[in-house]
């Protein structure tokens, strides 16, 4: 069964991640060009485009692949049994390929060199903590959002985290990879990328732990539940 549906799911993950990175990087370039040197205005444009794009993409591809677009989300869902283990590495590969393609498409749209490396250094304990916090919140939303509200909550969290975290909330190793390939407003230098990914994994792990602590314990089995299904118990006997 998995082999028949996996190609469609991988296509959705690759295409969705590519479009997400095109939105993030492209809106960063456009914002920077139009903001006249005002970094706050450029970041605001980048944020609003990302919120809208992420919301649409999750709605569009969610019914096909779950719309992870993020190796950390795929890993967490795999650990919880919501994603088959055999699908984890293909999902991650599709997300990374999509992220690279999205960066290249964004460059092509704005007449930039398609192939490039970022020189935007993002370093220091504050930024690593910020990435951990951003990813912690994202994973907690994925795990605990009420039915039917996860899409809006994920987009809203990412938008908020653009502004309250010092790292501007990558919260996604695939986004780190794609933005590493872009020497633009949204880029991250390759030397800064490994620490971001480690921080994201740590934040996700803490979110899983907190989710377990917040979840009610499994109800104890009653005596009737322990009675074999074929038995008949008469309260009047």
Which tens digits make up the pLDDT trace of 74-96? Answer: 999 999 999 999 999 999 999 99
* pLDDT(225) > 80: no
Which tens digits make up the pLDDT trace of 17-34? Answer: 999 999 999 999 999 999
User: What number of CA atoms fall less than 13 Å from residue 11's CA on the CB side?
Assistant: 7
Q: Domains along the chain?
A: 2-214 (1.20.1080.10)
Query: What's the pLDDT score for residue 226?
Result: 40
Q: Where are the alpha helices (DSSP H) in the chain?
A: 2-34, 39-65, 71-79, 85-109, 125-144, 150-164, 173-180, 193-214
CA 18 to chain centre: 13
Among the listed residues 84, 66, 87, 73, the one whose alpha carbon sits nearest the alpha carbon of residue 16: 66
Query: What's the pLDDT score for residue 5?
Result: 87
């Amino acid at each position: 069964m998995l082999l028949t549906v996996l190609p469609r799911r991988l296509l959705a993950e690759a295409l969705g991640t590519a479009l997400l990175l095109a939105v993030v990087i492209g809106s960063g370039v456009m914002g920077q060009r139009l903001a006249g040197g005002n970094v706050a205005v450029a970041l605001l444009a980048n944020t609003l485009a990302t919120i809208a794009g992420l919301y649409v993409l999750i709605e569009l591809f969610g019914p096909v692949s779950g719309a992870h677009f993020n190796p950390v989300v795929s890993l967490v869902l795999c650990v919880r049994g919501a994603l088959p283990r055999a699908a984890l590495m293909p999902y991650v590969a599709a997300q990374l390929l999509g992220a690279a393609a999205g960066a290249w498409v964004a460059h092509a749209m704005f007449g930039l060199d398609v192939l490039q490396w970022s020189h935007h250094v993002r370093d220091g304990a504050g930024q690593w903590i910020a990435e951990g916090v951003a990813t912690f919140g994202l994973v907690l939303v994925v795990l605990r959002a009420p039915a039917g509200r996860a899409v809006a909550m994920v987009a809203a969290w990412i938008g908020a985290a653009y502004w309250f975290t010092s790292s501007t909330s990558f919260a996604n190793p695939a986004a780190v990879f794609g933005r590493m390939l872009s020497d633009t407003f949204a880029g991250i230098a390759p030397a800064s990328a490994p620490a971001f990914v480690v921080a994201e994994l740590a934040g996700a792990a803490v979110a899983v732990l907190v989710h377990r602590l917040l979840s009610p314990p499994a109800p104890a089995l009653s005596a009737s539940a322990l009675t074999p299904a074929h038995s008949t118990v008469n309260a009047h006997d």
